Amino acid sequence: MNRPSKSAKAWGALKAWGALLAASTLALGACAVSARAAPCGSSAPGFPQWLEEMKRDAAADGVSQRTLDAALTGVTYDHAVIGRDRGQRIFHQSFEKFSSRLVTSARLSKARALLQRHAALLAQIEARYGVPGAVLVAIWGLETGFGADNGRFRTMQALATLAYDCRRSAQFHEELNHALRIVERGDMSPAQMRGDWAGEIGQTQFMPSSYLKYGVDFDGDGRRDLIRSTADALASTANFLKGKGWRSGAGWNEGEPNFAVLLEWNQARVYVKTIALLATKLTDAQ
């Protein structure tokens, strides 16, 4: 999820692509919206009509009017989202150039400090899911600068814009369906759902489908809060990796068993190699 102007997020987040893989396997439940959608479009004028048709489909599939009003009232076509979606050249850089801009001495220093600060939490997460703290902290740092910048896009507006756009309409329509389900269940309000341009939410950037499937309440407060709870965010990330086949004790660099699992997190090989590099540097420093 390429971010051309925002620290770790500026370069780190192609998360939408990896998390979208989960959309096809997640059961929606009784209140979920079906895959049928109004025709897509490539410009703003057709968006209002598309949105009204989408609302009617959602209501027919059991989404309450209260949820639709809360989630979609005031949603407009977002040109900034389309611009971000079209501008993903950074992932064509060489690994050397890409990683050198991300694995900096400042980020390494911050990551090492957080690895120590959260040592007990990370040990508990590894005991349950088998994913080392160094890997989780590396993802955390590259996705949002360790939770410093989770994104400011309105999730519903971003997802609706991309669901309407013809480039990957079906994929993002499913993610919009999942986001409506999150609101319908009362897990988050639309106002709380702010993140990056492709609908990612929280400190490690979960798509709505992955939130529903892999999000966990690790701090025991009764809710899965990937935005404010570091424990929930990191444990959910570990749960995602475990669910994709993470092998406890195995390596994660290219050519090792868990590298393929990291590619489930993010399909951009240059980005995954950078996660692996940062995690390895953190492990070597311990």
pTM for this entry: 0.85
The parent domain of residue 226 ranges over 7-285
Q: Is residue 17 situated within a structural domain? A: yes
| 53 is known as an active-site residue | no
Cβ of 197: how many Cβ atoms within 10 Å?
25
pLDDT digits (tens, 9 = 90+) for 192-244: 999 999 999 999 999 999 999 999 999 999 999 999 999 999 999 999 999 99
Our count of domains for the chain comes to: 1
Q: Is residue 71 situated within a structural domain? A: yes
The DSSP code for 108 is H
Distances (CA, A) of 189 to 96, 202, 230: 41, 14, 19
Tell me the two tokens of residue 277: 């590099």
Strand (E) positions, the chain? 153-154, 194-195
Query: CATH code at 225?
Result: 1.10.8.350
17 or 217: which leads in pLDDT: 217
pLDDT of residue 14: 43
pLDDT digits (tens, 9 = 90+) for 137-155: 999 999 999 999 999 999 9
Q: Which of 52, 96, 126, 143 is catalytic?
A: 143
What percent of the chain lies above the pLDDT cut of 70?
A: 85
Instruction: With beta carbons less than 8 A apart as the criterion, state whether 215 and 206 touch.
Output: yes
Q: Is residue 241 situated within a structural domain? A: yes
Nearest to 264 by CA among 17, 56, 11: 17
